[in-house]
Amino acid sequence: MPDIKRSRKGTGQVTLAEVAKLAGVSTITVSRVSNTPDIVAEETRLAVQKAIDKTGYVPNLLAGGLASAKSRLIAAVVPTISGPVFLETIQSLTESLAAAGYQLMIGQTG
């Protein structure tokens, strides 16, 4: 893997711009591959995916939420997280929401 200069100071995380540079595409193309891959040409999508796999890039959902004014964050409040019923519910919610591109934030009422 070529040496990529990190632009995020202190985090060590790979940025969207770094993936774009490695794949030889624009940052919007990387974003489209992550969010709406069906509108990207297969050859381009594969090149971006290869760069994502090589770098270990993980999209920053908080940054994306700020940029789009959509948080993609769902809050759930449950009475307790220690009971098996709620554990199964939380697991199911987490998996279903993640598949749709959302993150789950849990609150416990006690």
Helices of type H across 1-110: 16-23, 27-35, 42-55, 61-68, 84-99
User: Bigger pLDDT: 9 or 58?
Assistant: 58
- pLDDT band at residue 3 under the 50/70/90 scheme: low
| pLDDT tens-place string over residues 13-52 | 889 999 999 999 999 999 999 888 899 999 999 999 999 9
| pLDDT tens-place string over residues 67-89 | 777 788 899 998 888 878 888 88
- The backbone region for 83, taken as left when phi is positive above 0, alpha when psi lies in -120 to 50, beta otherwise, is beta
Q: Is 70 exceeded by the pLDDT of residue 11?
A: no
Largest pairwise CA distance in the chain: 51
Torsion angle in degrees (nearest 10) through CA of 105, 67, 55, 94: 20
